[in-house]
């Protein structure tokens, strides 16, 4: 660019121009070395991508609550094609084996005969069109479905149009189907916002979430986050691992009594993981460290029958960069860990509490995968709203975070209605405590939000559970 400008706008002598060219060549070009043309190729390629229209992800978990379930998918091009492009969207059962191998899963294939794709999945994009119309995919339950199984619907997009390219994954998407037809649920309406409750388990019994019911009989809280397990460095085994204090371990050891009742009521139970005053942390693992720790997190969630993980980048010391498990504290490292976790447990939730180096809007593209594909949702610190990162939507963000003990964050009905109308997908609460239901107006705050989000009343709880007890006591 400098040379061109000089030619156009300068009156340099030929000798000076030659010197400029020679200097430029000497500084920027290595003789015999191939020039990296990938940035230019990427800008000129016509890339295709198949995603769920609502989530903008190529991996969606479906809760089958009726005999039939429908969702919409779309096929997108990276730019205007300047020519007609034919597209065929179909079930590709053979891809299930590839997916299971990559993610180390063993999901059963949902029968193709029970999958209906609108218009037989056949479309033609006009030269000035980048996206197909919404393509309705309908799933019908089949005889013999098991509640404790995850079934995979592998979809693929193909084209005979010359010049359309795909990455290893962009032509495929999967629907992971779970049979929830006979389970209690928290469903409070189509596309309703979901509530996330962080429990300080050092102080409070998570069973108290069961006592918060709407007038229509639905559980008010959709997700219960156990705050918190930790990430720590084990100097003897020389690895990063998940560590639990005695309060977290008690709940896990008594899983059937304290956690599974929440899941049976339709809630998701998620473990929060944050730093613990040593050199490890969610946002300072190396690529290898992130991959290995993600495998441990996946095994941990499956062993204790949890629904996923929520990362919180706090309380970490400076990492030893000579340790191969660790890396620089950065948004990249936090993004890498979330990506590796989603890859290791695609059927589980990978969520984020915005803090430290890990903010949803700063999450990075990892191995070509946008944050919208590996971060299921993010919540902000108290009083704020999370912002979507690349490939994310407001549906993957909490519109408000309320600290119920110290009173930070708006709990007004008006704010709830506004955030709902803006398109946010979640509302977050922290530190619910039966001893403060009245003194801190905790219940009345939840009631205000309930009216704003769902246009119905939240029934004032009449019972509670003491810490480490399954006895239901009257308030």
Q: Which residues are catalytic?
A: 314
Is residue 107 within 8 A of residue 151, CB to CB? The reply is: yes
Is residue 360 within 8 A of residue 371, CB to CB? The reply is: yes
Task: State how far the Cα of 276 lies from the Cα of 176, in Å rounded to an integer.
Answer: 34
- End-to-end distance of the chain based on CA atoms, in angstroms? 75
**Burial status of residue 238 (CB atoms within 10 A of its CB: 0-12, 13-18, 19 or more):** exposed
Is residue 62 within 8 A of residue 177, CB to CB? The reply is: yes
Angle at 269 between CA 301 and CA 62, to 5 degrees: 85
Give all strands (DSSP E) within 159-212, no chain letters: 164-165, 172-179, 194-200
DSSP characters for 304-326? Answer: TT--EEEEE--S-PPP-TTSTTB
Is residue 75 within 8 A of residue 123, CB to CB? The reply is: yes
Q: Which residues are CB-contacts of 418 (< 8 A; sequence separation ≥ 6)?
A: none
């Amino acid at each position: 660019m400098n040379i061109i400008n000089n030619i156009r706008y300068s009156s340099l002598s030929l000798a000076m121009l030659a010197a400029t060219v020679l200097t430029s060549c000497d500084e920027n070009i290595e003789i015999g070395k191939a020039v990296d043309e990938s940035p230019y190729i990427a800008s000129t390629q016509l890339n295709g991508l198949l995603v769920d229209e609502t989530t903008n992800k190529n991996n969606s978990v479906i809760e089958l609550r009726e005999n039939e379930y429908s969702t919409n998918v779309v096929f997108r091009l990276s730019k205007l094609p300047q020519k007609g492009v034919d597209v065929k969207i179909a079930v590709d059962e053979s891809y299930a084996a590839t997916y299971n191998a990559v993610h180390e899963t063993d999901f059963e294939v949902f029968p193709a005969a029970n999958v209906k794709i609108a218009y037989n999945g056949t479309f033609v994009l006009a030269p000035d069109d980048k996206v197909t119309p919404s393509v309705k995919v309908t799933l019908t339950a089949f005889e013999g479905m098991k509640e404790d199984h995850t079934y995979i619907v592998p979809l693929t997009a193909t084209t005979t149009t010359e010049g359309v390219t795909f990455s290893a994954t962009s032509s495929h998407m999967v629907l992971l189907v779970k049979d929830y037809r006979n389970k209690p649920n928290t469903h409070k309406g189509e596309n309703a916002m979901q509530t996330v409750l962080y429990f300080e388990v050092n102080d409070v019994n998570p069973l108290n979430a069961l006592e918060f019911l709407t007038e229509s009989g639905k559980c008010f809280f959709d997700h219960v986050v156990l705050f918190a397990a930790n990430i720590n460095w084990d100097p003897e085994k020389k690895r990063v691992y998940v560590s639990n204090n005695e309060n977290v371990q008690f709940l896990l050891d008594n899983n059937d009594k304290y956690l599974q009742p929440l899941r049976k009521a339709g809630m998701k139970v998620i473990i929060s993981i944050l730093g613990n005053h040593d050199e490890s942390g969610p946002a300072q693992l190396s690529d290898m460290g992130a991959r290995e720790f993600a495998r441990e997190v996946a095994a941990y969630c499956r062993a204790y029958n949890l629904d996923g993980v929520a990362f919180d980048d706090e309380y970490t010391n400076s990492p030893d960069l000579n340790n191969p498990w660790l890396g620089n504290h950065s948004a990249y490292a936090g993004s890498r860990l979330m990506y590796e976790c989603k890859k290791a447990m695609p059927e589980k939730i990978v969520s984020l509490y915005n803090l430290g180096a890990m903010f949803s809007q700063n999450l990075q593209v990892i191995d070509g995968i946008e944050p919208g594909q590996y971060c299921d949702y993010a919540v902000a610190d108290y009083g704020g709203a999370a912002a979507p990162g690349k490939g994310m939507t407001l549906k993957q963000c909490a519109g408000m975070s309320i600290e119920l003990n110290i009173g930070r964050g708006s709990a007004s009905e008006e704010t709830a209605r506004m955030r709902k109308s803006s398109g946010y997908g979640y509302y977050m609460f922290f530190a619910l405590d039966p001893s403060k239901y009245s003194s801190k107006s905790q219940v009345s705050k939840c009631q205000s939000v309930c009216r704003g989000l769902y246009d119905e009343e939240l029934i004032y709880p009449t019972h509670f559970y003491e810490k480490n007890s399954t006895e239901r006591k009257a308030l």
